[in-house]
Amino acid sequence: MRKSSVVAHPDAAAGAGAVAGAGVGAATDPVQVTITLQPAGAPAGGYVASAQVGGRPPVAGTFQLPAYDWNQESARVGTGPDGGAGTDAAADAGMRLFDALFAGALRRCWAQAVEDSKGRGMRLVVSSADLTVHGLPWELLYDRVLVNRQLLLVDGWSVLRAVPVPPRPPEPLGSTGELGVLVVTARVAGVDNEADLAALREVWPAASVEARHGQGTADVAAALRARRVDVLHVAAGGVELPDGRQYVALGDASGTDPMAVVVLVSATELLEMFDAARRPRLVVLAGSDTDVLAAELARVVPAVVGIRGSVSEKGCAAFLHAFYRALGDGESFERALAAGRAQQRAFASALRAEWAAPVGFLPAGRLVAPAEPSGAPPPPRAPMAASATLTAPADESPVGRAGVELEIYTRDRDALLAQWGLVDGQLWPELVTRHRAELDTRLAEAARRLGGSP
């Protein structure tokens, strides 16, 4: 598991509307439901809630945290074999939280949102300045009446988080070749410190990627200020104290040297390392127990991803690979987050509900602008590399070329289905669905020229 080996002593030291994902037009944008939660003020007074569906006037309500052991739940959530309804811990947690949030007037507001979302999808944004709110597993929300499943498992739906006044995101860069990336890891015995770095270099080969392994805060701060860092990737476990505050553990704990130093770094200390004139566009906290830390960083950094509870090495790697690849392809932050979750769900039988572990404080727009359409179909992607072993036949006639194309595209399609076949097709990221459709079109054309069918 991506947990820090450090045990902390208790005494150790424009609103959510800006989260809207990029769409091609208002008619096709998902319906946005913004839930704003503020402490009521009185002891045990719960929260004052406000729900707004699209451009409709907000509806006022209240939110009382249901009695539940959320902290324990964070490390043991699971789903049924089909990833849908089940009487397991994840479904139970999601139902309790949903029923507590959508009660009274907010229940009617939710029914209207579900109706409006038909044919359009939905974006549910939970906005609050209260860190306790962001310590709850909103990604597990489960409507057993109108939807009968967890909201994140509905095609075209997303659950995002926001702070009341998020920073304005900069314009997307032209390509991944313009990106400056810093990877910071803690040295922990038994943890692969190179995995995240290798994944980033694989999916963004043109980016300038620098690594700092097992270094303290002074060295990390120097690296952040030495050059422009667009993406800060922190592959280190978080530590949560009894007061709910989270820290990321940096340094070297890989050996038995008593002089080895491991430092618990707060969000405030991490923010102080940034050059105020050029803060990162995206911070990814790729270690367990970093969801509340992500909420604190989101007040200053436009896009932040954290992890709620514990996550396995395999699950985290699956998420990161698909998330970063989608961003590099010019997808929006929101779609990239969905791509990462879908990749995790491909391993659902082993990883259970780890698709709910990543939490996103994400703005509208993209990290990298999408490539200009060239009019020609894009080349097959990396998973379809098997087609490279084919050689052209001596026969260069149109029929001969069509036969080779048919075999190439068939192998490409089989490779894609082998990678994504365990995931419900309705939950595939848009770029995967688009690639499947392109392959089907090419197969049909090649088969037509051969006088057959794919």
CA distance 409 to 450: 14
Supply 76's token pair.
Answer: 């043991």
pLDDT band at 453 (very low <50, low <70, confident <90, very high): very low
Determine how many CB atoms are found less than 10 A away from the CB of residue 452. Answer: 10
> CB under 8 Å to 417, separation ≥6 — which residues?
none
Give 392 or 101, the one with higher predicted confidence: 101
Mean pLDDT of all residues in 187-212: 86
CA distance 319 to 9: 31
Is the pLDDT at 397 greater than 90? The verdict is: no
Provide CATH 3.40.50.1460 ranges for the chain: 176-361
CA distance 222 to 316: 28
The structural architecture, per CATH, of the domain 176-361 is: 3-Layer(aba) Sandwich (3.40)
Q: Tell me the pTM.
A: 0.76
Share of the chain above pLDDT 70, in %: 71
pLDDT in tens, 41-96: 766 679 999 999 988 999 999 999 888 777 655 444 544 444 443 347 888 899 99
